[in-house]
């Protein structure tokens, strides 16, 4: 397995709000449409729900745009509000960008992704998990997992018929976790039975024919916060960034 390129990408989404004033401003921007007869009534009602009830998550469905506004209260004594926009079960990043621009706030960093491109060998991609693990241990000296288990878990977490994979978490330090999965260019094609996990060594291989807008096949290492939902890193951002930088250096 030859690594040809390693890049770190900030994964952004959602808007972190520091007080009710910012939250009110966001609600005005979200509900300010001609189809709603009284934006003020809608905004005030949501603020009352947030301040008057002991809940962690509030969701509001907007029939006009078929989007769902999700507000999660995070933090301790100093409350922060994390807002996301969803279409059914999927986060609408473009809608979040548009809203963030309206209120002059950046999208929050929710994770760091290290993308590792590998070289094709006669039209076949090869992910050697013994080599991957040896490199990971440079960045994570206390990593305790075997290459066989890592390759097996990554393989069984991937559904070749749907092209979807759930990242396999192989490391955790406090509330920062590190996971591994296939690259997007692999997950968006139906490979069915063309990929194999070697029975004698921890290697996943398979046929890969790049399209005109694709580069080499890749795997992804994701550094994010342990949580039930998708939350910003907030106070752990520096720690996660440092960990991502170490993994980038180890993979090069």
Among candidate residues 85, 107, 129, the one where a domain is terminated: 107
10 inside domain: no
What is the reported pLDDT for 15?
94
9 inside domain: no
Among candidate residues 64, 81, 107, the one where a domain is terminated: 107
| Residue range of the domain that includes 209 | 111-251
175 and 131 together in one domain:
yes
153 and 40 together in one domain:
no
126 and 232 together in one domain:
yes
102 and 131 together in one domain:
no
Return the axis-axis angle of helices 39-52 and 20-31, rounded to nearest 10°: 140
Tens digits of per-residue pLDDT, 7-18?
999 999 999 998
243 inside domain: yes
Tens digits of per-residue pLDDT, 154-200?
988 877 666 677 899 999 999 999 999 988 877 765 555 567 888 78
Give the number of domains in the chain: 2
- Give residue 106's pLDDT band: very low, low, confident or very high (50, 70, 90): very high
What is the reported pLDDT for 44?
77
Cβ neighbours, 10 Å, residue 242: 14
Tens digits of per-residue pLDDT, 77-97?
678 889 999 887 788 899 899
Computed over every residue of the chain, the mean pLDDT equals 85
2 inside domain: no
Among candidate residues 76, 107, 138, the one where a domain is terminated: 107
- Give residue 76's pLDDT band: very low, low, confident or very high (50, 70, 90): low
């Amino acid at each position: 397995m030859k690594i040809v390129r390693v890049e770190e990408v900030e994964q952004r989404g959602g808007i972190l709000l520091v007080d009710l004033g910012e939250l009110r401003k966001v609600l005005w921007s979200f509900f300010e449409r001609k189809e709603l007869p009284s934006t003020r009534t809608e905004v005030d009602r949501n603020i009352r729900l947030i301040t008057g009830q002991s809940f962690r998550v509030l969701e509001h469905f907007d029939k006009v745009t078929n989007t769902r506004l999700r507000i999660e209260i995070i933090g301790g004594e100093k409350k922060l509000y994390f807002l996301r926009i969803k279409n059914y079960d999927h986060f609408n990043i473009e809608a979040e960008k548009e809203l963030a621009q309206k209120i002059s706030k950046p999208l929050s960093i929710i994770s760091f992704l290290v993308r590792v491109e590998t070289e094709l060998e006669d039209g076949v991609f090869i992910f050697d998990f013994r080599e991957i693990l040896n490199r990971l241990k440079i960045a994570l000296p206390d990593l305790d997992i075997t290459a066989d288990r890592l390759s097996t878990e990554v393989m069984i977490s991937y559904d070749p018929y749907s092209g979807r994979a759930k990242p396999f978490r192989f490391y955790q330090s406090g509330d920062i976790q590190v996971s591994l999965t296939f690259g997007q260019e692999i997950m968006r094609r139906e490979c069915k039975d063309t990929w194999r996990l070697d029975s004698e060594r921890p290697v996943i291989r398979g046929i890969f024919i790049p399209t005109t807008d694709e580069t080499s096949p890749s795997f992804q290492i994701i550094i994010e916060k342990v949580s039930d939902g998708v939350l910003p890193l907030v106070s752990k951002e520096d720690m996660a960034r440092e960990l991502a930088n170490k993994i980038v250096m180890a993979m090069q």
